[in-house]
Amino acid sequence: MPLSERTPLLIVRVSRPPPRYPHSRLRRTCTCCLGSILVVGVILFLLPFALLPREHGSLWDYASGPHLTGEEFQPTLWTKEQWDGFGLPKDKPCSYDVYINYPVDHRLALIEKDGEHSKVKFEASLEEDVLDDDSTSGLNNRIPTFHGYSASGNVTAQYVYVNYGTFWDFEDLVKANVSLEGKIALAKYGGGFRGLKVKRAQELGMVGVVIYSDPQEDGEITEENGYKAYPDGPARNPSAVQRGSVNFLSQLPGDPTTPGYPSKPGCHRVDPYDYIPSIPSLPLSYEEAIPLLKALNGHGPAAKDFNERWQGGGLSHKGVKYNIGPSPENLVLNLYNEQDYVTTPLWNVIGTVPGTIPDEVIIMGNHRDAWIAGGAGDPNSGSAALNEVIRSLGEALKAGWKPLRTIVFASWDGEEYGLIGSTEWVEENLSWLSKANVVYLNLDVATTGPNFKAAASPLLHKALFEATGLVLSPNQTVKGQTIRDVWDKDVDPMGSGSDFTAFQDFAGVASIDMSFAGGKNDPVYHYHSNYDSFDWMERFGDPASSCEAAVPPFNFQPLEEAMASFHDAATEFDAYTSSLTAHLKDDFPWWQYWKKIVLYFKIRAANDKYKLIERKFLYSRGLDGRHWFKHGIFAKWPADYILWSDVSGSSGEFRGRRCE
């Protein structure tokens, strides 16, 4: 679940904002931060090279066949064997019994009624084209198009175009008196997490949801603008389908039957339907959405008559007028979705490099499960990069090196269904993580384009900025440029959508997520499609809302005073740690060696305070209505904005910050 699903944040202002980086010296002196810089630097150095097929077979091994959550144990064994061969001293699979679904059958047909008779005007294939130039697209064991955690059902009803299907889009439809109850929603991908589109449709009494990929989301690189479609060019293939989970991620990641505790055999399980849909849904290509959209032409209001959120649409040149509907009473959709829900094992692989300080731990993780047979970008570019880091550290270990802090590597299973493998592992190891974990480094979609992107906890912005200045950019316009030189310096908030969620929002562990991604003028990445393939990666991926409201009269004076007090304490601690750092260079005579011991314990205590500061933002009772989420600052809002929340669950948006 990638960066495209994050949404921007509001700025909560007080009358006198504190300095942007009041703790720069503190961060610089904390060895935890320095350790993070080292590890991040290693990752950044290896990311650009992790996808070169002539040197690295691991990407093709991962991306050459299906590896849907829980279905294949072979990728688990292959990963463990690779890590053994790299010289990782301790690695083992760990399993959880989780509740997930697998596709059985599906159908989507546009039906015209004529009295007692009816005829099929259009029936979607619900498949992606097999391409001669993309070997992965034609595998016999490729995975059907479906939604994770979609409900089984067979519904026939009129349908309504709902734009992106966001909370505010549905509010606009309700205000416009568009009939929704008993209808099927036709929504575009984008604007928020797909599961929340289904959730809101369900809450409004709709009986099914179809979500398609509109070229509007592809920036400049579209067929309408003259670009050829993949495989002949960089534009989206018209038959591409985005699979994905429709669980209610803002309510609960992980196994929906075991909220807050690990899914071990024999454990107590709850009804999952507070966290997953009870209405069916299907993903669709824009090629097969066109007949459905054109059938709405002239029916109901037009999207162009709504507010700015409804403007645009990338299929107007195909004759689509983006009318809302509903469709006429004699024109209905039949949506059939059959899913097999099972409780089945999934396997994480956990590797450990013991450090000199065993109770200070850096964790680096990537998930290896995918919705498709390929997954060259998501997740296997990250898998290849993670393996390169392990291989490099393995060589250092063979030469006698030992890290100061313990390093844990994780290959997660079940990320795509709802961050299951990482969440269950964090829930099981929460007590240990709360005491020992310093930072979590996430690699999900490591490479799908040329532009460096990052999301990070505020405590790690400085470490990220310094690390990017140590590594040469793979996309230099001037010789010698570092990643920092060509990076826009924007750091996204962590939000949710990948395996850092349980670390950041449940355990209170500072986290970083990094990738190289495409922009509006770069080839279109076929997210969760069969065309996220080795062939696409070689050719294109890696070749060499406004809401106006009156402002309530909040009193921010107590908040300002608290922040000022915190700033004073941090400044004092800043000076204290600077003094400790200065004494590190002191050469004590042997009869004053005890001073070194005292200095060690003072530095250790200072590092412990830095390590545990993120935990201080955890609220043990959880946020209102979403008790799994513990972090009082960062949480995923029910309407899919990444929010600042107080302990009662009230929220206000912020934006990402520039890292300077």
Q: What CATH number is associated with residue 60?
A: 3.40.630.10
Higher pLDDT, 648 or 244: 244
Active-site entry in 5, 128, 217, 415: 415
pLDDT of residue 557: 54
Q: What's the CA gap between 197 and 171, in Å, rounded?
A: 12
Establish whether the linkage from the previous residue to 231 is cis, with ω within 30° of 0. yes
Q: Is residue 479 part of a domain?
A: yes
Based on the fold, state whether residues 52 and 81 are members of the same structural domain. yes
Average pLDDT of the residues in 166-174: 97
pLDDT of residue 556: 46
Quote the DSSP letter at residue 322. Answer: -
Reported confidence tier of residue 652, pLDDT bands at 50, 70, 90 = very low
pLDDT of residue 598: 78
Reported confidence tier of residue 554, pLDDT bands at 50, 70, 90 = very low
Give residue-wise pLDDT tens across range 359-411.
Answer: 899 999 999 999 998 889 999 999 989 999 999 999 999 999 999 999 999 99
Reported confidence tier of residue 635, pLDDT bands at 50, 70, 90 = low
Q: Is residue 620 part of a domain?
A: no
Based on the fold, state whether residues 311 and 392 are members of the same structural domain. no
Q: How far is the CA of 393 from the CAs of 82, 126, 335, 351, 612, in angstroms?
A: 13, 45, 51, 12, 27
Reported confidence tier of residue 174, pLDDT bands at 50, 70, 90 = very high
Contact 463, 500 (CB under 8 A): no
Percentage above 90 pLDDT, the chain: 60
Neighbour-count burial of 486, counting CB atoms closer than 10 A to its CB (0-12 exposed, 13-18 middle, 19+ buried): middle
Q: What is the dihedral of CA 315, 525, 254, 627, to 10 degrees?
A: -60
Give residue-wise pLDDT tens across range 571-613.
Answer: 777 788 777 777 777 777 767 777 777 777 788 787 777 667 7
List 343's β-bridge partners, or say none: 99
> Domain holding 277: CATH number?
3.50.30.30
Higher pLDDT, 292 or 622: 292
Q: Which helix (H) or strand (E) holds 658?
A: strand 657-658
pLDDT above 50: residue 640: no
pLDDT above 90: residue 47: no
Q: What's the CA gap between 307 and 301, in Å, rounded?
A: 12
Q: Which of 44-48, 138-142, 226-230 is least confident? A: 44-48
Based on the fold, state whether residues 293 and 215 are members of the same structural domain. yes
Q: Which of 66-80, 296-310, 333-347, 497-511 is least confident? A: 66-80
pLDDT above 60: residue 7: no
Reported confidence tier of residue 38, pLDDT bands at 50, 70, 90 = low
pLDDT of residue 426: 98
Based on the fold, state whether residues 111 and 126 are members of the same structural domain. yes
pLDDT of residue 35: 57
Decide if 415 is catalytic: yes
Quote the DSSP letter at residue 631. Answer: B
**What's the chain's average pLDDT?**
84
pLDDT of residue 107: 99
What total of structural domains would you count in the chain? Answer: 2
Domain span at 245: 101-340
pLDDT of residue 254: 98
Based on the fold, state whether residues 325 and 356 are members of the same structural domain. no
Based on the fold, state whether residues 256 and 353 are members of the same structural domain. no
Q: What's the CA gap between 629 and 176, in Å, rounded?
A: 35
Based on the fold, state whether residues 310 and 297 are members of the same structural domain. yes
Reported confidence tier of residue 15, pLDDT bands at 50, 70, 90 = very low
pLDDT of residue 651: 39
DSSP-derived 3-state class of residue 513? strand
pLDDT above 60: residue 330: yes
pLDDT above 60: residue 278: yes
Based on the fold, state whether residues 322 and 212 are members of the same structural domain. yes
pLDDT of residue 569: 75
What phi and psi values does residue 195 have, to the nearest 5 degrees? -65, -30
Reported confidence tier of residue 44, pLDDT bands at 50, 70, 90 = low
Q: Is residue 554 part of a domain?
A: no
Give residue-wise pLDDT tens across range 481-520.
Answer: 999 999 999 999 887 889 999 999 999 999 999 999 998 8
Based on the fold, state whether residues 298 and 416 are members of the same structural domain. no
Q: Is residue 577 part of a domain?
A: no
Q: Which of 166-175, 352-361, 408-417, 522-531 is least confident? A: 352-361
The domain boundary, picked from 501, 517, 541, lies at: 541
Q: Is residue 584 part of a domain?
A: no
Give residue-wise pLDDT tens across range 333-342.
Answer: 999 999 999 9
Based on the fold, state whether residues 269 and 371 are members of the same structural domain. no
Side-chain half-sphere exposure of 468, counting CA atoms within 13 A: 24
Q: Is residue 56 part of a domain?
A: yes
Based on the fold, state whether residues 385 and 264 are members of the same structural domain. no
pLDDT of residue 20: 41
Reported confidence tier of residue 441, pLDDT bands at 50, 70, 90 = very high
Q: Is residue 227 part of a domain?
A: yes
Based on the fold, state whether residues 357 and 269 are members of the same structural domain. no
Which stretches does DSSP call E strand in 354-488? 357-367, 405-412, 437-447, 451-456
Q: Is residue 332 part of a domain?
A: yes
Q: Of the segments 298-307, 444-453, 542-551, which one has the largest average pLDDT value? A: 298-307
Q: What's the CA gap between 176 and 483, in Å, rounded?
A: 49
pLDDT of residue 634: 63
Give residue-wise pLDDT tens across range 265-275.
Answer: 999 999 999 99
Reported confidence tier of residue 633, pLDDT bands at 50, 70, 90 = low
The domain boundary, picked from 340, 367, 398, lies at: 340
The domain boundary, picked from 541, 564, 593, lies at: 541
Contact 279, 209 (CB under 8 A): yes
